[in-house]
Amino acid sequence: MDMQQDKLKAHLSAAATRDLNHQDSSHAPLQPTQSAKSNELDMFADEDNDDMFAPEPAAGHKRDDGTQAVRLPEAKQLDRSMLDDWDDPEGYYRIILGELLDDRYHIQTNLGKGVFSAVVRALDTTTNRTVAIKIIRTQESMYKAGIKEIEILQTLAEADPEDKKHIIRLERHFEHKGHLCMVFENLSINLREVLKKFGRDIGINIIAVRQYALQMFLGLTLLKKCEILHADLKPDNVLVNEKRNQLKIADLGSAMSADDNDVTDALVSRFYRAPEIMLGIKHDYAIDMWSIGCTLFELYTGKICFTGATNNQMLKGILECRGKIPNRMLKRSEFWAQHFEPDGTFLSQEIDNVTRREVVRRMNITRTVPAKELKARLFASSKGLSPADAKELNLFADLLDKCLAVDPVRRITPTDALKHPFISRPGPVPPHNIK
């Protein structure tokens, strides 16, 4: 529980920072050159290519994926007994570039720290391939969470032997100096970084969004088939390959069995949190579809779909954009009284601009059908659309409307999302991917 709270705190502060980062970004035109591109491998081709993870070009050799790998001094087992402590005060393993882990993995790059782990990129000297290794912090709760994540990843891999469903592959795991180490296939950057580098805070082109949407929906079908909720989907937890034409859903550290659905209003990072979670209604697979809807909106516009410093302010944004919460939902809600009066009036808990005190503003939202607002926001970020582009964007708006249905019972399922015309119509999508 501590760990979850820890993780949530970090998510909240990261989300708040992102919120600030996005305040000034301007809307993106759907540039004709972007929308006209038809080759999905080429979807970012005219954009700058300065990969933050690109290895040193000079002393490199070609990897099997065609990229350059750094030539490192000969791998050696460091005698860490010479060191006072191989962990930092927070239980993270202190990374030493060049160290050989498990007599096999030669650490090349430090990819940074998450809440649960430090992640490194390493060369597997047995296969000569690059891998990513998640080195879990020492805390017992984190070790246990790591074991759970391994079990879930194994279940998912067994159900997808051909690796077609876009969920990250765990190759194996081992222990090193009391740390659980998880060896993953190596990927490049996450979708938040894609947005920052290639969308320049204005979003990426609709062909890329469609390709990514298809792959994420395939991932959701596998999760559902295995009766697993990811419960932390957001751009940060979706990784792409070097070419950026394939993605994998990653970080299953919060994933759980679908019947493990105790009511809590703090599940999922706040901006990607479905309304039923905030209202205290028993949740199911639909929470992941909501998160994907928010992620797709953000990919296209470069803007976070719903923001709010609290669940209450998140609900306010959702109500304004998507209309009234249906009574049948409020009836099943454990936390409705924190946000509504018995007659359905919304109690917006805001900070007064002048006094800086909390004030409660009563809002009577009666609209039962979603406003055109979502669509308007998509079109506002796309200037100078050709009729063909506008048609494409209308299809995307219709799909998003269904992914972001307030009532989870009415929200589109992954299988139906794959059949939606935005995804299923003929186009530049490899046919083997559509199952």
Ligand X SMILES: Nc1ncnc2c1ncn2[C@@H]1O[C@H](COP(=O)(O)OP(=O)(O)OP(=O)(O)O)[C@@H](O)[C@H]1O
Q: By C-alpha distance, which of 60, 57, 37 is closest to 49? A: 57
Nearer to ligand X, 150 or 429 (CB): 150
Question: What contacts 24+ positions apart, CB below 8 Å, involve 222-226?
Answer: 222/156, 222/159, 222/160, 222/165, 222/166, 222/167, 223/156, 223/167, 223/249, 223/255, 223/285, 223/288, 223/414, 224/258, 224/285, 224/413, 224/414, 225/159, 226/155, 226/156, 226/159
- Give me the least distance between CB of 355 and ligand X, in Å please: 36
Ramachandran bin of 302, using left for φ above 0, alpha for ψ from -120 to 50, beta for the remaining angles: left
Residue with tokens 């990072």: 269
Which residue's CB is nearer to ligand X, number 49 or number 368?
49
> Among residues 13 and 26, whose Cβ is nearest to ligand X?
13
Instruction: Give least dist CB 398 to ligand X, A.
Output: 31
Distance, in Å, from the CA atom of 364 to the CA atom of 372, rounded to the nearest integer, reads 18
Q: Residue 304 CB, nearest distance to ligand X (Å)?
A: 17
Stated length of the chain? 435
354-359, Cβ contacts within 8 angstroms, sequence gap of 24 or more:
none
Tokens of 224: 């559902």
The string of DSSP letters for 146-158 reads HHHHHHHHHHHHH
Furthest CA-CA distance within the chain: 71
Q: How far is CA 389 from CA 33, 37, 206, in A?
A: 11, 11, 9
Q: What tokens were used for 236?
A: 């940060």
**Minimum CB–partner distance for residue 108 and ligand X (Å):** 12
134 is in an annotated binding site: yes
Active-site annotation holds for 232: yes
What token pair was written down for 259? 């019947």
Q: Which is nearer to ligand X, 132 or 404 (CB)?
A: 132
- Using CB under 6 A as the criterion, which residues of the chain lie in contact with ligand X when the complex forms? 7, 10, 111-112, 114-117, 119, 132, 134, 168, 184-187, 190, 236-237, 239, 250-251, 253
Return the structure tokens found at 135: 């080195």
- Residue 295 Cβ vs ligand X, minimum distance, rounded to whole Å: 14
Please tell me which residue in 124, 160, 232, 284 is annotated as part of the active site.
232
Specify the residue, 170 or 218, whose C-beta has the smaller distance to ligand X: 170
Distance of closest approach, residue 236 Cβ to ligand X, in angstroms: 5
* Spatial separation of the C-alpha atoms in residues 14 and 408, rounded to whole Å: 27
> Do 217 and 210 meet the contact criterion of CB atoms below 8 Å apart?
no
Nearer to ligand X, 34 or 237 (CB): 237
**Residue ranges of the binding site for ATP:** 134
Q: Which residues are catalytic?
A: 232
